[in-house]
């Protein structure tokens, strides 16, 4: 597919692509815009190539979905390395008291 045809197809799919990106980002429009931009960069730079084995829309929605998954995995690893996620090796007995403490602290916040 020629670069001009590819751009034209992406422009045609933009509105549906943004809606799909929002679904992949749990409704967050700012994150969806970032994901969609990253997906466009992948396609236009040649990192993701359309080979015609599926419909253009199906293929591009896959690029968006995998881009969102990559971002989610990166954010999860980053949060884990910063100690913001519970250690998966911790037992429920260790985690539940921490959740109870958090709930108590949240209850003390002014409404």
Overall average pLDDT of the 34-50 stretch:
95
Residue 88 confidence (pLDDT) above 90: no
* pLDDT (0 to 100) of residue 103: 80
Whether the Cβ atoms of residue 59 and residue 18 lie closer than 8 Å to each other: no
Of the candidate ranges 43-47, 71-75, 78-82, 97-101, the one whose mean pLDDT is the lowest: 78-82
Query: What's the pTM?
Result: 0.70
Overall average pLDDT of the 19-25 stretch:
95
What is the per-residue pLDDT across 43-71, written as a single tens digit (0 to 9) for each? 999 999 999 899 999 999 999 999 999 99
Overall average pLDDT of the 64-85 stretch:
81
Whether the Cβ atoms of residue 16 and residue 66 lie closer than 8 Å to each other: no
């Amino acid at each position: 597919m020629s670069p001009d045809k590819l751009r034209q197809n992406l422009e045609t799919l933009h509105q549906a692509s943004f809606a799909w990106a929002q679904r992949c980002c749990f409704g967050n429009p700012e994150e969806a815009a970032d994901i969609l931009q990253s997906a466009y960069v992948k396609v236009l730079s040649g990192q993701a190539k359309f080979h015609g084995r599926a419909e253009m829309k199906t293929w591009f929605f896959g690029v968006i979905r995998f881009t969102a998954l990559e971002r989610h995995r990166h954010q999860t690893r980053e949060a884990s390395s910063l100690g913001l996620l519970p250690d998966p090796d911790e037992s429920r007995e260790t985690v539940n008291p921490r959740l109870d403490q958090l709930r108590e602290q949240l209850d003390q916040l002014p409404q």
